[in-house]
Amino acid sequence: MIPVSEPDIGNKEIEYVDDAVRSGWVSSHGKYIDEFENNFRNYIGTKYGITASNGTAALHLAVTALGIKSGDEVIVPDLTFISPVNAVLYNNATPVLCDIDKNNWCIDANKIEDLITEKTKAIIAVHLYGNSADMDKIMGISKKYNIYVIEDTAESLGTDYKNKKLGSFGNVGCFSFYGNKTITTGEGGFCTTNNNELNEKMSMLRDHGMTSKKRYWHEMVGYNYRMTNLQAALGVAQLERIDSFIKRKREIAKIYNEKLSGYVITHPAGRDYNGTYWLYSILLKDKKERDNLMDYLFKNGVDSRKIFYAVHEMPLYNKYSHGNYPESISVSERGLSLPSSVKLKDEEIEYISKLIINFLK
């Protein structure tokens, strides 16, 4: 079975993790935590940055540090993994669902202003599948209405929007290093920011609300959202290879595009950003064709993945819908993610593409 994604763990990763184990610093302190935090924020291009236990924890830290609470509203895309929606609900705030832009599959910046009320506190721009939301427009709205922007960059690590890394535009950028992400620490997350006060607040929140100036002195109700030194060791090694990972992702996308163009709607490629194709994804004619192709691929040894459900279609979240969501429904029902691992061989991409073309013919 050719998997949708798998991590590429090399000798450096093993060497650094082994070093961390032998050092005895296996929990949330150690040299690799500091090294990973410094290297990662420098890669993104922000002044500050802290590790977290996972991407959802990173989002929750951002929402909490920005003071979002009961009575506040946060505008989120209707097509997303559920983490940003849940992070808002953790604080008893209200998510307000916005349709997506069919050209990048991210939140439709042209529909955000219609959803803003006096209760709106923030926008969460989820950069989906290696693509980028329209950050110029979103940051313009943020300035106009004096509302925060959180970037959920879990799936678009390394994507440049107008020659600037995603995760460096908003008040906070949030990242995930789950096993299927562009780089992995097994589980793990990160918050980037250019605001020192926000950085210190998120740092305190992730460590039980304890101030760094006085041990065991807690100034707020916090959480245990810390990354371990073992995870950070893995992250340091992975980050050293990120350019080669992204280069390979783009090579894979180029081959898929060449083979599948004219048969399916291929993965979006925006004019203002240089996508990183976290999971190379396509759109089929309709839901039935998508599901049948998925079964056909599986029977021929190829795994694939449906794109996320439209959030408003799930009964638990339907009450947060505002109007119609034609684009998120369309992409959700027709979308299919294909094998996209950096370990994928060219001949495997050829095989997968031939299967898809044969099926459609």
Residue 330 maps to a domain? yes
Tens-place pLDDT, residues 220-238: 999 999 999 999 999 999 9
- Residue 155's SS3 state is coil
Residue 234 and residue 258 in one domain = no
Residue 195 and residue 281 in one domain = no
Residue 235: what pLDDT? 98
C-beta neighbour count of 180 within 10 angstroms: 18
Contact present, 235 and 17 (Cβ < 8 Å): no
Average pLDDT over residues 229-251: 98
pLDDT greater than 90 at residue 36: yes
Residue 1 maps to a domain? no
Residue 148: what pLDDT? 98
Residue 246 and residue 308 in one domain = yes
Residue 247 and residue 209 in one domain = no
Domain endpoint, select from 183, 213, 240: 240
Tens-place pLDDT, residues 277-326: 999 999 999 999 999 999 999 999 999 999 999 999 999 999 999 999 99
Residue 290 and residue 212 in one domain = no
Residue 320: closest CA among 99, 106, 110, 56: 99
Residue 160 and residue 128 in one domain = yes
Residue 209 and residue 70 in one domain = yes
Residue 314 maps to a domain? yes
The stretches of the chain forming alpha helices (DSSP H) are: 11-23, 31-44, 55-65, 83-90, 135-145, 196-206, 229-240, 242-260, 287-299, 326-334, 346-360
For the chain, give the mean pLDDT. Answer: 97
Q: What is the CATH number of the domain that holds 313?
A: 3.90.1150.10
Residue 23 and residue 168 in one domain = yes
Torsion sign, CA atoms 315, 321, 325, 331:
negative
Average pLDDT over residues 170-182: 98
Residue 108 maps to a domain? yes
Domain containing 28 equals 11-240
pLDDT greater than 90 at residue 2: yes
Domain endpoint, select from 240, 270, 287: 240
Residue 270: what pLDDT? 87
Average pLDDT over residues 328-334: 98
Residue 166 and residue 252 in one domain = no
Average pLDDT over residues 239-268: 98
Burial of 68 (0-12, 13-18, 19+ CB in 10 A): buried
Domain endpoint, select from 219, 240, 261: 240
Q: What is the CATH number of the domain that holds 96?
A: 3.40.640.10
Residue 198 maps to a domain? yes
pLDDT greater than 90 at residue 180: yes
Q: Which residues pair with 281 in a beta bridge?
A: 337
Residue 86 and residue 205 in one domain = yes
pLDDT greater than 90 at residue 153: yes
What does the alpha-carbon distance between residue 77 and residue 132 come to, in Å, rounded to a whole number?
Answer: 13
Residue 174: what pLDDT? 98
Q: What is the DSSP letter of 286?
A: S
Residue 246 and residue 136 in one domain = no
Residue 3 maps to a domain? no
Residue 266 and residue 212 in one domain = no
Q: How many domains does the chain have?
A: 2
Task: Give the full edge-to-edge strand order of the sheet including 335-337.
Answer: 281-283, 335-337, 305-306
Residue 6 maps to a domain? no
